[in-house]
Structure 1
Amino acid sequence: MKVSKEQSAANRQALVEAASRLYRERGIAGVGLAEIAREAGFTHGGFYGRFASKEELAAEACDQAFEGALGKLSAQFERHGGDLTTLLRRYFGATHRDTPGAGCPMTSLAVDAAREGGQLGQSMSQGIDAYLRALAIHRPDGTVVDEPTPEDQARAIRTLTTMVGAVVLARACGQGAPGLSDQILRTSLEQLTTGA
């Protein structure tokens, strides 16, 4: 039975969604294609008619994760102008730390992208650039500029590196030193919301 173009696109999307979650949970090397196909409700063979390689799937999974992250950032700016407090409270929360499969692609896939390079590295670079641009053009006072100044860009980089670095470190010591993990998140939130 021939599958319609719409169904084929939906099947492909299901594979990308499963890969996006699983890769963020366990890393690129920690998940096989058979598991992704099974998670999406297909057999292993269903992968090969839809993607040229695992690398292509990983890049698309990264792109999809960034669409979600950028959508959340955009919604934050629409509701609260340049005030990131609500977003940062969720970002530095225990739920985000403890559920990487539903979280920020930068905190869970950046190291993989650096190791893998190729299409995944390109997707990660484009996603980081887009996130930084959004942070840079939306100033804390609520104004939006067409072109960020060097100061806007520096502020965006400081914000994003604090966000990503804090969650990566909090996850790294979450089981071995949960108190330290919580302290990293709490201190980073305070730093970005109060400047303390």
Structure 2
Amino acid sequence: MKVSKEKAAQNRTALVETAARLFRERGIDGVGVAEIGKAAGLTHGALYAHFPSKEALAAEALAHGLQISHERMTTPHDGHLPSLSELLDSYLSEEKRDDVANGCAMAASASEVGRQDETISARYSEGFELMAAVFEKHLAAHKVKGDHRQKAVAIASALIGAIATSRAVLKAQPELANEILRAARRAAGEIAGEKS
């Protein structure tokens, strides 16, 4: 039975969104194609009709998650774009740390992407560049002294690392997990020129 173009597009979207969520929750290597297909309401054969490999799906799923994160950072809320301070507060919140399935794809996959193929690394790199560019734009707009690019890269790295590390220690030491978020927020604010 032939699937319409519209249904094929819906199936592809379901696969990408489902894979993005599952990869954030359990990692790229922690979930198989049969499980992704089933969770999307499709067979793993349907997955291969859309993607030549799991790696190709992972690259698109990562790009999808990174685009959502970028939109969160650049879409107006209550009539204004989020300030740098609001972005830092939101990203480094306990709520965002604890919501792995809907959180930042970069923090969820930071340690794993280095073990994947170049296509996946390229998507991650593109997402990192987008994130750093948002911070760089804020720093330039507020005339923060120093090299805006360097500071933006440091902020993005600090945020991603803080979420990943906070998640890693949360079960064993919840207070340390929260301390990591607070320390990273303070340090990112200092880099951004916030007054204490």
Q: Considering the TM-score relative to the shorter chain, is it more than 0.5?
A: yes
Note if contact 1:76-1:84 (Cα within 8 Å) is conserved in structure 2: no
Alpha-carbon distance in 2 for matches of 1:173, 1:183: 11
Alpha-carbon distance in 2 for matches of 1:76, 1:154: 26
Larger displacement relative to structure 2 (184-193 or 35-44): 184-193
Alpha-carbon distance in 1 for matches of 2:91, 2:131: 14
Alpha-carbon distance in 2 for matches of 1:103, 1:44: 26
Alpha-carbon distance in 2 for matches of 1:73, 1:99: 17
Match of 1:146 in 2: none
Note if contact 2:18-2:40 (Cα within 8 Å) is conserved in structure 1: yes
Aligned residues: 190
Note if contact 1:24-1:100 (Cα within 8 Å) is conserved in structure 2: yes
SS in 2 for 1:175: coil
Verify: 1:68 aligned to 2:64, yes or no: no
Match of 1:178 in 2: 174
Amino acid at match of 1:101: A
Verify: 1:79 aligned to 2:75, yes or no: no
Alpha-carbon distance in 1 for matches of 2:84, 2:117: 31
Between the two proteins, what is the percent identity of the paired residues? 35
Match of 1:129 in 2: 129
Note if contact 1:33-1:44 (Cα within 8 Å) is conserved in structure 2: yes
Unmatched runs of 5 consecutive residues or more in structure 2: none
Alpha-carbon distance in 2 for matches of 1:124, 1:60: 10
Alpha-carbon distance in 1 for matches of 2:89, 2:131: 18
Superposition deviation, residue 45 in structure 1: 1.7
CA RMSD of aligned residues (A): 2.1
Alpha-carbon distance in 2 for matches of 1:27, 1:127: 17
Alpha-carbon distance in 2 for matches of 1:30, 1:195: 43
Please show how residues 106-125 of structure 1 align to structure 2 within 5 Å: 106-125=106-125
Note if contact 1:170-1:185 (Cα within 8 Å) is conserved in structure 2: yes
Match of 1:151 in 2: 147
* 4+ long deviations beyond 3 Å: 140-143, 193-196
**TM-score after normalising by structure 2:** 0.88
SS in 1 for 2:167: helix
